[in-house]
Amino acid sequence: MNVTHLECANCHKIYEAGKIHNLCVECGKPLLVRYDLAKAAETLTKESLKTRAENLWRYREVLPVENDENIVSFGEGFTPIFKIDRIAATLPLKLNLYIKDESTNPTQSFKARGMAAAVSMAKELGIEKVAAPSAGNAGGALAAYASRAGIASFIFMPRDTPRANIIECEQTGANVTLVDGLITDCGKIVAERKEAEGWFDVSTLKEPYRAEGKKTMGYELAEQFGWTLPDVILYPTGGGTGLIGMWKAFDEMEQMGWIDAKRPRMVTVQSIGCAPIVKAFHDGERFADEFPNAHTQASGLRVPKAVGDFLILDALRESNGTAIAVSDEDLIAAVKEIGAAEGLFCAPEGAACLPALRMMIEQNLVAENESVVIFNTGAGVKYLECFE
How many angstroms separate the CA atoms of 123 and 14, rounded? 23
What is the spatial distance between Cα 311 and Cα 373, in angstroms, rounded to a whole number? 21
What pLDDT band is residue 173 in, cutting at 50, 70 and 90?
A: very high
> In angstroms, what CA-CA distances link 73 with 54, 148, 269?
12, 8, 29
pLDDT in tens, 240-258: 999 999 999 999 999 999 9
pLDDT for 278 beyond 90: yes
User: In the prediction, which pLDDT does 311 show?
Assistant: 98
pLDDT band at 388 (very low <50, low <70, confident <90, very high): confident
In angstroms, rounded to a whole number, what is the distance separating the alpha carbons of residues 289 and 4? 34
Mean pLDDT of the chain: 97
Predicted confidence band of residue 105 (pLDDT cuts 50, 70, 90): very high
pLDDT for 346-375, tens place per residue?
Answer: 999 999 999 999 999 999 999 999 999 999
Q: What is the pLDDT of residues 284-338, one digit of tens each?
A: 999 999 999 999 999 999 999 999 999 999 999 999 999 999 999 999 999 999 9
At 175 the pLDDT is: 97
**Which among 9, 11, 10, 6 has a CA at the least distance from the CA of 21?**
6
Domain coordinates in residue numbering, the chain: 81-108+213-387
Q: What is the pLDDT of residues 46-101, one digit of tens each?
A: 999 999 999 999 999 999 999 999 999 999 999 999 999 999 999 999 999 999 99
Query: For residue 385, is pLDDT > 90?
Result: yes
Q: What is the pTM of this model?
A: 0.96
**On the CB side of 192, how many CA atoms lie within 13 Å of its CA?**
7
Task: Answer positive or negative: Cα dihedral of 313, 317, 320, 326.
Answer: positive
- Domain spanning 81-108+213-387, CATH architecture: 3-Layer(aba) Sandwich (3.40)
Structure confidence at residue 1 as a pLDDT band (50, 70, 90): confident
- The whole-angstrom separation of Cα 255 and Cα 234 is 24
The whole-number pLDDT of residue 167 equals 97
- Residue % of the chain over a pLDDT of 70: 100
Q: What is the pLDDT of residue 74?
A: 98
Q: Supply angle C-alpha 15, 254, 102, rounded to 5.
A: 85
